[in-house]
Structure 1
Amino acid sequence: MFENDNYRLGFGTYSLTGEDGTATIETAIEAGFRHVDTARLYENESEVGDALDQASVDREDLFVATKVAHFEEPEKTPEYVRSAVEESLDRLGVDTIDLLYHHWPRGRDDIDTVLPVLEGFVEDGRVERLGVSNYTIEDVDHACDLIDIPLYANQVEIHPLLQQEELRSHLRDNDMYAVAYSPLAQGKVFDVPELQDVAEKHETAPAAVSLAWLLAQDGVAAIPRTSSEEHIRVNLAARDLELDEEDMETIASIEWTVRCEDPNWMEW
């Protein structure tokens, strides 16, 4: 799995574009993030590539993830998918992508077309690991039957307000990571009394508590996104925050159910 435990807390880059985006991503790397997550759809792979090039950290010490074939992109063909991956490699300025995801399938035909093409990039060495994003349990099982190489991760929404116990368990059974996007529920965790209480106990922020809770789970990584240097450092502090059994029970007791990303065509 993640050979460097520091990779389990990654830096999400959604909406970080232009020179300011590059500067923010570089700041996150210099502050201590070693896993950087982007996507073709974010239209910032070039900014990520510039940040990788400008940062003082060697490429071999960084874990670079991107995603292709989002449901909003044009109709998928093998040729389109192959070209998309080639373009991602070029924009990122890397010889290999550490983790390449299929980004949010629109159905089984989409999965059947996209995954075999991505598998080919793993086989020829230009992609190290293959992942999926927003796959249901049934989608994961279908994908595992479809391709010959193991899937590394499923990137899905997970946070204390959407704990995803069944999905996390299923991924562990298949030796896959759950990579949590929107791990702070797009800011909603700040208003949860249970998280506020745990944060006060540890003299930290609800953001750090939420991320520490995710990192305390077996087989879970998280990719918080922020444009604030202060929040970058708060998020990194989660790696050193040890929650005790009482804290974990308190967070497990949260009764909120909030899904921030829920398109009407998706059947969770």
Structure 2
Amino acid sequence: MSNWFDPNKSFFKLPVVYLTIIITIIVAVVVSFFIYKYSNLYFKINYVGFNNVLEYFRVPISILAMLIPIVAVFAANHRSEQTREQIKISSEQNNFVNYYKHLEEFLKYFKEHTTKDVKFKSHNRLHSVLFPLAKKGKYHIEGSIIIRITSAIDDVYHLLQMLNNEEIRINKENSVAKIKNILLILNDLNELFDVDVATTNVHKGSIGSSIAIEKRVGGLNYIHSDFCRLINELNAIMKFDSGFIGFFNMNKLTKIQKCGISVNYTPVNENYM
């Protein structure tokens, strides 16, 4: 229907309007022609003659009269479409203004409520990741982001439990696999939130080599240390959304911070990685 009543066109330039008017007039003219052609009519210039015209041409006049309600309905629909378009434009303008206001407040909140332990390359990108629908007027944190982070906490917690299991520690190959999984989880979050990995203790290159992991200053505990700092920072940042009360499994993060990685790690063949 909106295609028929384009709000950006004037009413009488709408195809549906001028075609309806033209077709109706043509039909009325054709009917009038047949009435005149096949009827024995003559016109008198007096009240009787004018009355007869109205009587004889009642059908074509009625056809023309139908244009009045039809055009009125079309005009109402056109005004409705114009009103809808104005509301849409106004809403888009409000969303535009509110988006940048939301971004401004987010950046202000970020500076006031973060520890700066984690460096993000772009605060604007961080905002767009956490609030992907902000430009459409929806200022709540994306649910999939919360699920992704809580899942990461669960996964790292279980991997660390397995790493600190004596039977797992004996099997160096299994140990290396678990450490690699933790690194993959950490790097996945670093990439998602555009973390400046140059400021972290473990960077992406660490995944490629077991020897590279061991050579990091401070040993393997830096892996989970970077992870905990990132999650704590995100937890603080995401509370900018008043509807976000924190990750439900933060108790596991506390345990991750306390337990660390106690595996007695020694260099193994890099093929394990």
- Please classify the TM superposition score into its range, dividing by the shorter chain length: under 0.3
TM score, norm. by length of structure 1 = 0.22
Structure with higher Rg: it is: 2
TM score, norm. by length of structure 2 = 0.22
Higher strand share: 1
Higher helix share: 2
